[in-house]
Structure 1
Amino acid sequence: MSPETLARLTALRHDLHRFPELSGQENNTAARVAGLLTDLGADEVLTGIGGHGVAAVFDGAAPGPTVAIRCELDGLPIQELGDLPYSSQIPGKGHLCGHDGHMVMVLGVADHLAQAPPQKGRVVLIFQPAEETGQGAVSYIADPQFAPIAPDFVFSLHNLPGLALGEVLLCEGPANCASRGMRVMLGGKTSHAAEPQDGISPAGALASLMPELADLGTGGALNADFALTTVTHARLGEPTFGVAPGAAELWVTLRTVSDTRMKCLIAEAEDLVTQTAEAQGLAVKITYEDVFEACTNNAQAVAAVAEACVTEGVPCTFTNEPQKFSEDFGQFGKSAAAAMFWLGAGQAHPQLHNPDYDFPDALIPVGVDVFSAVIRSLVGRALSLRDH
């Protein structure tokens, strides 16, 4: 990648960082991405996929497979605390997961494809909305615009603090854990604080459920039996001294390596909640949000990434363990050979979702080169790149 190209992509990344948009609200980001892809001369640019999703199609001259590269459009509802010259200009919102960097890497791939289109098949660049809520991939795939561009192979990456800068981490099989947010609402009856016996308080149930639900999944080895339950929020009654509470709410994140284990964990958690509520005369309602199914890597797709790393001289390490954090990218793997890999953001880099996190610009050319090498291995290229 030429210094001029890297400088342009870096400046674009900084500008995207300034104006993050939350899941389902990525209108301006999507419009900007679509405009850039159109300017690059993509054979087709689709918009409004599954909400604000975008796709760019680069056709080859001969028949062949469809290869997709996927990235995310959305930011997070977190106030950025860093003092970067390009810090978020939107109060309470920030690109604190690196999706701004992921977008720019895929736009860098578009640069390559504009200069050297595939020899055969086609390449589809997927800019997906609402990854942070787990709804984006499901909506994107369900959109009628997706079926005609559905890929045979699909690849994505996520930057990973704690891993050496620029190093790739890769695995076959389970790649990202399944997770979901369980919201428990307990209903009793309020009473005057002076006569609590006249009401039905959920305080005891809430107090017992917090440790008991946490004990259902205590983590451990990331294998088929892995389960982790994390209490993330609790609310009891109203902030007043005169009323004994009549309602409570508890939020718990359930996490497993496999979807099968998740079904068992859900059943265990629901049984515990229901039995506790019934024993104390409380009504109960359970709902789920931020639902992520497990993400699994295909062996053939993993081999393509490993080969690309060798071709580009990028250090690559294999692991037998998936990441604990979840990714809705797994939805694409239900109908395509899929691989998610992780690109090191630095061993001492702030963690994802931290208020001082920022995507390392040094990763831009690494991601572009690995993705481009994967594409070349599967569909070739028609021309020689001018600046690569």
Structure 2
Amino acid sequence: MKIIDSIATEAARFRDIRRDIHAHPELCFEEVRTSDTIAALLAGWGVDVHRGLGKTGVVGVISGSRGPGRSIGLRADIDALPVTEKNTFAHASVHRGKMHACGHDGHTAMLLAAAHHLCANRDFAGRVVCIFQPAEEGGGGAREMIKDGLFEKFPVDAVFGMHNWPGLPAGHFALKAGPVMASSNEFRIVVRGKGSHAAMPHLGLDPVPVACQMVQGFQTILTRNKNPQEAGVISVTMIHAGEATNVVPDTAEIQGTVRTFTTALLDLIETRMREIATHIAAAFGVQCDFEFVRNYPPTVNHAAQTAFAHRVMAELVGEEAIHEFEPSMGAEDFAFMLEKRPGAYVIIGNGGGDHRSPGHGAGPCTLHNASYDFNDDIIPLGASFWVELSRRWLAQA
């Protein structure tokens, strides 16, 4: 494994920065302290710092000493989750109900470590744009930074993102060209019938069996409308109806999510869900309100940039430590950046969980789990990857 010497020497410093951020988690668009910390560090190293994009986002621009040239964007997410931490070690969250349960503290530390090294070693042409993005966890912070002119103000030839992955050994990477994360979408359907006494259902229009028919009907989209070789998920996660056992309610509400790897399949699913809901409601003589909200698009890696990142990884850790990432039906708002610029979203192994300090929670060290903690040992590797990726990208003719 080839870790840059100066980054290895500074490992303890960035471990402490990571743990400080972990202890002070902030939710989406509330990352004021986190952004202040990032901006102060970058400014102290001589980075050209810009704030305010996406409300609490920070952009640091590092220009090489060899003049103008190509440009590259490196993105780290900075927000925490609304989770109450079970860990009791010294750097556990001081804010109950808020926790860095997805490793964004570690992503931030890796990019900061890379920025620190690049500032001290500017013997390159072009510039590196370090993007510290808020509100990845449901807030669409990438979309908001783009709306605020991210790529107009800081043009890049390619953009890359990196996420830790529990279970993948430390010292390993994973990546794949094409779709790697699914789109994230939500639906809400209100079936409007007519209430009655449960003993006299013929005097009303019961919305409950209508809602049940809709739920069953939605699954036929996946089994009879979708190409079996394409991946798609329709999950009904909530059905709410009624308040008393002897009263037929006026309404029944259905909510859930849809996940796909392509926009074409998403279009099909939304259209068919709307048709099924509308026509089933009409068949039973009731009304329905249908809402479908598209949150995050699929995260789709560009082939050339993925191959480029693979070559850099191979030089750092060897081919045997690089894996083909199995696409996840989870979502990631880095997708918005990949819609605007070519690039890739890559995975760095976080290990099996035995890195956690004494006092960790009893649960597994998995993402979005109250016993999770980022593996500080991988900060130097992640930072070295960012540096080598940047240098090699900017060195291209």
Which TM bucket (shorter chain)?
0.7 to 0.9
Larger deviation, residues 309-318 vs 81-90: 309-318
Contact 1:311 1:373 in 2 (8 A): no
Contact 2:313 2:322 in 1 (8 A): no
Map of 2:101 onto structure 1 = 96
Map of 1:383 onto structure 2 = none
Pair 28,277 (structure 1): closer, same or farther in 2 beyond 3 Å: farther
Instruction: Give 1:10-159 correspondences, 5 Å limit.
Output: 10-43=15-48, 45-61=49-65, 62-117=67-122, 119-133=124-138, 135-144=140-149, 146-159=151-164
TM-fit CA distance, 1:360: 1.5
TM-fit CA distance, 1:145: 5.0
Pair 267,134 (structure 1): closer, same or farther in 2 beyond 3 Å: farther
How far apart are the structure 2 equivalents of 1:243 and 1:223? 42
Contact 2:174 2:325 in 1 (8 A): no
Pair 19,241 (structure 1): closer, same or farther in 2 beyond 3 Å: farther
Map of 2:377 onto structure 1 = 362
How far apart are the structure 2 equivalents of 1:214 and 1:269? 10
Is 1:203 aligned to residue 208 of structure 2?
Answer: yes
Map of 1:170 onto structure 2 = 175
Pair 52,317 (structure 1): closer, same or farther in 2 beyond 3 Å: same
Cα RMSD for the two superposed structures: 2.7
Contact 2:270 2:292 in 1 (8 A): no
How far apart are the structure 1 equivalents of 2:100 and 2:180? 23
The counterpart of 2:393, out of the listed 365, 378, 382, is: 378
TM-fit CA distance, 1:243: 4.8
**DSSP 3-state at the match of 2:68:** strand
The one-letter amino acid paired with 1:39 is G
Larger deviation, residues 1-10 vs 162-171: 1-10
Map of 1:284 onto structure 2 = 288
Larger deviation, residues 369-378 vs 197-206: 197-206
Map of 1:307 onto structure 2 = 311
Pair 368,87 (structure 1): closer, same or farther in 2 beyond 3 Å: same
How far apart are the structure 1 equivalents of 2:227 and 2:122? 41
TM-fit CA distance, 1:297: 1.4
Pair 316,271 (structure 1): closer, same or farther in 2 beyond 3 Å: farther
TM value normalised by structure 1: 0.88
- Structure 1 or 2: larger strand share? 1
Pair 307,287 (structure 1): closer, same or farther in 2 beyond 3 Å: same
Is 1:252 aligned to residue 256 of structure 2?
Answer: yes
Is 1:182 aligned to residue 197 of structure 2?
Answer: no
TM-fit CA distance, 1:188: 2.9
How far apart are the structure 2 equivalents of 1:278 and 1:102? 51
The counterpart of 1:274, out of the listed 271, 278, 288, is: 278
> Which runs of no fewer than 5 residues in structure 1 stay unpaired?
381-388
How many residue pairs get aligned? The number is 377
> Which runs of no fewer than 5 residues in structure 2 stay unpaired?
1-5, 354-363
Contact 2:22 2:93 in 1 (8 A): yes
Contact 2:7 2:380 in 1 (8 A): no
Contact 1:182 1:286 in 2 (8 A): yes
TM-fit CA distance, 1:322: 2.4
TM-fit CA distance, 1:104: 0.9
The counterpart of 2:368, out of the listed 353, 358, 362, is: 353
How far apart are the structure 2 equivalents of 1:147 and 1:191? 59
How far apart are the structure 2 equivalents of 1:223 and 1:163? 29
The one-letter amino acid paired with 1:231 is V
Identity %: 32
TM value normalised by structure 2: 0.86
**DSSP 3-state at the match of 1:204:** helix
How far apart are the structure 2 equivalents of 1:205 and 1:19? 47
The one-letter amino acid paired with 2:330 is F
**DSSP 3-state at the match of 1:106:** helix
TM-fit CA distance, 1:363: 1.7
